[in-house]
Structure 1
Amino acid sequence: MPVPAFDPGSLADQLLGRRIVLLARELDDDVAAETCSRLLLLAAEDPHRPVTLQILSPGGSPVAAMTVHDTMRTLGPDVATVAAGSLAGPVPFLVAAGTPGRRTALPHAMALPTGDGPVSGSHPGDVRVRAEHLTTRRTEIEELTNRYCGAPLPGDARERWLSAQDMLRYGIVDEIRGSAQRMTGRADS
């Protein structure tokens, strides 16, 4: 009997039926729009039931991250975030932006919370304007991350990969899924 062809569309639909949104690609404007539309759809279906945002994105645009962030924070239902795999750039910020008490990491998740993102444009003025815009977004992301984590991340946090334990210690997540260890706040607060 032949194996049916894999249809990622039906998989995404099945996850949506379970109120799970998967962010599993580099975060650009198109991926942000897709992620936001799925979050908005689930909020419209039931504004009282929580939504889970499973994140295993390797990084991306700070501008796109702020789009997803603003949708998450104004959605209505709680947004549980799950860090999986290796997250870089502004993506760990989205994990921290989840509903407090509902932010988790899988045991082998890693994060490199840098503010780096793509800068493009064909004219030098375009690059300058985009770079200024990205700088503003990076500053906002850093300030909001500090608020969600309860304190600024240590200076070296943006220069090395953080383990799931580090994410727990610094307040990016509230627990490590599959671990008996839980935390409601920062260890050093």
Structure 2
Amino acid sequence: MPVLSTPSELADRLLGERIVVLARELDDDAAAETSARLLLLAAEDARRDITLHVLSPGGSPVAALALHDTIRGLGTDVATVAAGSLAGPVPFVVASGTPGKRLARPHAAFRPTDDGPVRGSHPGDVRVRADHLAARRAEIAALTEAYCGAALPESVRDRWVSATEAVTLGIVDRNG
């Protein structure tokens, strides 16, 4: 097997295996890139599953909803695999995968927090962005409840949840 010398070569090789990796903070660029890869694979063969490995430490609720909409609208099954420490809206992205095909690696940890930076240059801009993010977070909470079968307890926002607990909460279907 040839040695892969660049991240681009590695990503291309994984795409050939129908694997997409999200391994950085989930911002608009990461969501766009990940969505594009998922769309490409679905267009190539809508009958074969796609696997999305998620190793993201957190990110934007708006980017998470954009990625969610892509995952749920593909028309093909997306297996999600959680690894590492996932915070903010990222556990929601993992829960967005196809039911029965959501996996947490044994050492995955989840912290579905609502906190995060609100950026803006003018106090009015900050308020508008904060209101927008609050609405997106409410959408994420409602969809997470639908995917997990119940609302996540408030206590999970104050601590890290293990892969085993994530199964109990319905964020993933199994760990291993």
With normalisation by structure 2, the TM-score equals 0.96
1:146 maps to what in 2?
145
The CA RMSD over aligned residues, in Å, is 1.0
AA partner of residue 130 (structure 1): R
Does residue 45 of the first structure (1) align with residue 44 of the second (2)?
A: yes
Unaligned runs of 5+ in 1: 178-189
AA partner of residue 175 (structure 1): R
Cα distance in structure 1, aligned partners of 2:21 and 2:114 = 22
1:62, 1:117 within 8 Å by CA — same for their partners in 2?
A: no
2:110 maps to what in 1?
111
2:123 maps to what in 1?
124
2:58 maps to what in 1?
59
Cα distance in structure 2, aligned partners of 1:158 and 1:147 = 18
Which shows bigger deviation, 119-128 or 63-72?
119-128
Identity %: 67
Deviations 1:12-63 (A, max 9, x none): 0011001011000000000010000000000000011111110000000000
After superposing on structure 2, the runs of 4+ consecutive aligned residues of structure 1 that deviate more than 4 Å are none
1:35 maps to what in 2?
34
1:117, 1:134 within 8 Å by CA — same for their partners in 2?
A: no
Cα distance in structure 2, aligned partners of 1:119 and 1:11 = 34
Cα distance in structure 1, aligned partners of 2:4 and 2:157 = 41
Cα shift at 1:118? 2.9
2:4, 2:10 within 8 Å by CA — same for their partners in 1?
A: no
Cα shift at 1:5? 7.6
Cα distance in structure 1, aligned partners of 2:151 and 2:97 = 17
Cα distance in structure 1, aligned partners of 2:76 and 2:160 = 31
With normalisation by structure 1, the TM-score equals 0.90
Unaligned runs of 5+ in 2: none
Cα distance in structure 2, aligned partners of 1:146 and 1:158 = 14
Higher helix fraction (1 or 2): 2
Cα shift at 1:121? 1.1
2:95, 2:102 within 8 Å by CA — same for their partners in 1?
A: yes
Count of matched residue positions in the alignment of Structure 1 and Structure 2:
174
